[in-house]
Amino acid sequence: MKAVMRIGDVAVDNPVALSPMAGVTNSIFRRICKEMGAGLVVTEMVSCKGLLHNNQRSQELLAFREEERPIAFQLFGSEPEVMGKAARLIAALEPDLIDINMGCPTPKIVKNGDGAALMLDPDLAARVVESVAENVPCPVTVKLRRGWDEASPSAADLAPLLAAAGAQAFTIHGRYREQFYRGEADWESIAAVKAVVDVPVWGNGDVDSPDAALRMLQQTGCDGVMIGRAALGNPWIFREVHNFLRCGEYLPRPSLRERLELALAHLEEEVRAVGEPAGVRKMRSQLAWYTKGFPQAAAIRQELNTAETVEEVRRLLEGCLYMEKT
């Protein structure tokens, strides 16, 4: 396994990171992944305009605890001056890194020229990076996709421009924007970026096991792997990948009891944060991921989708253990 990664003056002690996911990677989930071995965690993406308009939701997305460090705040926007002002505002919170989202494929984001749409205008993208880098003391990183489509500038075309503008690391998701999350990620696009920049590169896309993580590192030469969807209901993947890269050994998969206990602990944290039943409703999708592969999982998920209390959820999950034994 590669030694400690350095992004500017920030040390990342292992090359396995939690990728930002809207509606998922809040402080509670990040802390769980950190405890499981993630070397770096990233917030949900935050609107720069929302921050400047003192939007409460935007501010809530940046809440974190010291045990999450190193942590990157991810911002989205496409106006250089606005991005710079918002970055300067959140720099007061002392994030370890500020990451610029140039990879989100969601229509409501790209229709405003944000997210992956920035890849269509390399000069504007470079001015965004320059503005953010000039306004903050911490390193600035960028999340890119392979490209918008085959006919548009690629990540390898943009990365040198963005590095010259101040980007000190990149995350490359190996799919075009038009693919969203369909099909296989093209890892060669990650290798292509690594070949043209002298800063750390994280690979992202289809890392769903220790073996996949090792293959990505070997095939692309990237410095670390970002894990997103494979961590949904499965934060154990961080300790499994980290251990495998460190010593070549597979850890045992968590038992059904371990999975249920973590799901309940996660739920109880959410309820403490936002109350009940709001926390239960918020956790429904997470609980569906935690119960993937459980006995009669489809039927259990249907009942979880109407649960309103922690005790209801506990009863349903404990029922899974009973079904496994019978």
pLDDT tens column, 135-149: 999 999 999 999 999
155, with CB counted inside 10 A (0-12, 13-18, 19+), is: buried
Of 33, 48, 104, 320, which one is the catalytic site residue? 104
Per-residue pLDDT for 115 more than 90?
yes
The predicted model gives 73-81 an average pLDDT of 98
pLDDT over threshold 90, residue 176: yes
Structural domains of the chain sorted by starting position, each given as residue range(s) with its CATH number in brackets:
5-247 (3.20.20.70), 256-325 (1.10.1200)
State the average pLDDT for the chain.
95
Q: Tell me which amino acid residue 24 is.
A: V
CA distances from 193 to 43, 46, 53, 248 (A): 24, 25, 35, 27
Provide the pLDDT for residue 323: 63
Q: Is the pLDDT of residue 18 over 90?
A: yes
Q: What is the four-CA torsion angle of 104, 105, 110, 116, rounded to 10 degrees?
A: 60
Please tell me the predicted confidence (pLDDT) of residue 81. 98
pLDDT digits (tens, 9 = 90+) for 186-209: 999 999 999 999 999 999 999 999
CA distance 236 to 234: 5
Cα dihedral 172, 178, 181, 185 sign: negative
What pLDDT is attached to residue 4? 78
pLDDT at 216: 98
Least Cα distance to 43 among 33, 54, 53, 56 occurs for 33
Task: Please write down the HEC assignment for all residues of 198-216.
Answer: CCCEEEECCCCCHHHHHHH
Q: Is the pLDDT of residue 251 over 60?
A: yes
Concerning whether 247 is annotated as a catalytic residue, the answer is no
What is the model's pLDDT at position 325? Answer: 59
